[in-house]
Amino acid sequence: MRKKFVAGNWKMNTDAARAAELAAQVVAGFVAQPGWAEKVQVALCPPFPYLGIVAQAVKGSPVHLGAQNCHHEASGAYTGEVSPVMLHDTGCHYVILGHSERRHKMGETDAQINLKVKAALQNNLTVILCVGETLTERQEQRTLAVLQSQFHGCCHGLSRDAMAKVVLAYEPVWAIGTGHNATPEQAQEAHAFLRSRVSEEFGPDVAGRTQILYGGSLVPDNAPQLLSQPDVDGGLIGGASLDAARFLKIIEAGAR
Ligand code: 13P
């Protein structure tokens, strides 16, 4: 049985005071509900400057810390970059890699993301690897081909043990921040396909254990339906994770 996992991607939002407050509210709301921690993993992924603040807020609680990106080298002359060693040192358990905003706005390629995935895993981070098609790709019936090539491009060369530490996130680009979520059927189809790819490349045991999150306008209203699909193991939440009450409602849907 795969545990549900709900992660908040705060993107480039909050300030120091708000980050501390939001994290404290999520921790308080989560630990107040008996049984939730057994049923749902929770992570908060603030911007880099607030990792330390959120690390303090979640310390000693079942809420984990994650970052939104990292470089593939451990250290060196890479001005402006942050290494996986630093993230681990700061208390991060997770790192989001391959988010569509980085692919499409910063030009990250599958090959670069593959290097980052390997570096993050070598530094004891659990990777949340995002894949997803654009609206044009969906309209041209290329969704599954895009998912296959992104998954293969980002995960090739990993051992089975390494792949077992990767969480996948299906984030259709057209659903991110638009209010147009994938239907439960569309999400289920993509997730089942991704699981079949994991099975093909890494075997059925790894595929059966791989958590596959849905992301893209996931909000309290649509969470119960989306999170009850058999291959939807949780959510990667953008906008709704910036409001503790809404984020906790999504966690509640995952705990059902
Ligand atoms: P929204 O929930 O704001 O659509 O963002 C989803 C996302 O990109 C999470 O990584």
Mean pLDDT of 178-198: 98
Q: What is the pLDDT of residue 1?
A: 77
Run of H or E residues at 4: strand 4-9
Q: Which of 101, 108, 137, 171 is catalytic?
A: 171
**Is there a catalytic annotation at residue 171?**
yes
Tally of CB atoms within 10 A around 128 = 28
Q: How far apart are CA 251 and CA 30, in angstroms?
A: 8
Compute, in degrees rounded to 10, the torsion defined by CA atoms 240, 241, 243, 247. 90
Q: Are 22 and 242 in contact (CB under 8 A)?
A: yes
Q: Is the pTM of this model over 0.95?
A: yes
Return the amino acid letter for 163. M
- Cβ neighbors of 254 (< 8 A, separation 6 or more) are 4, 5, 6, 39, 40, 223, 227, 234, 235
Q: How far apart are CA 45 and CA 236, in angstroms?
A: 10
pLDDT above 80 for 156: yes
How does residue 88 score in pLDDT terms, banded at 50, 70 and 90?
A: very high
Q: What is the pLDDT of residue 40?
A: 98
Ligand 1 mean position, distance from CA 250 (Å): 13
Q: Could you read off the pLDDT of 195-230 as tens digits, one per residue?
A: 999 999 999 999 999 999 999 999 999 999 999 999
Q: Could you read off the pLDDT of 99-155 as tens digits, one per residue?
A: 999 999 999 999 999 999 999 999 999 999 999 999 999 999 999 999 999 999 999
CATH code of the domain covering residue 204 = 3.20.20.70
The domain tally of the chain equals 1
Three-state DSSP class for residue 42: strand
Ligand 1 mean position, distance from CA 175 (Å): 8
Q: Could you read off the pLDDT of 16-57 as tens digits, one per residue?
A: 999 999 999 999 999 999 999 999 999 999 999 999 999 999
* DSSP code for 173: G
If you compute the radius of gyration of the chain from its CA atoms, what whole number of angstroms results?
Answer: 17
Instruction: Please work out whether the CB of residue 104 comes within 6 Å of at least one atom of ligand 1.
Output: no
What are 36's two structure tokens?
A: 């939730």
Ligand 1 pocket test: which of 6, 9, 168 has the largest number of ligand atoms within 8 Å of its C-beta? 9
- Range(s) of the domain holding residue 104: 4-71+78-255
Q: Which of 64, 72, 99, 191 is catalytic?
A: 99
Q: What is the pLDDT of residue 54?
A: 98
Q: Are 231 and 213 in contact (CB under 8 A)?
A: no
Q: How far apart are CA 19 and CA 17, in angstroms?
A: 5
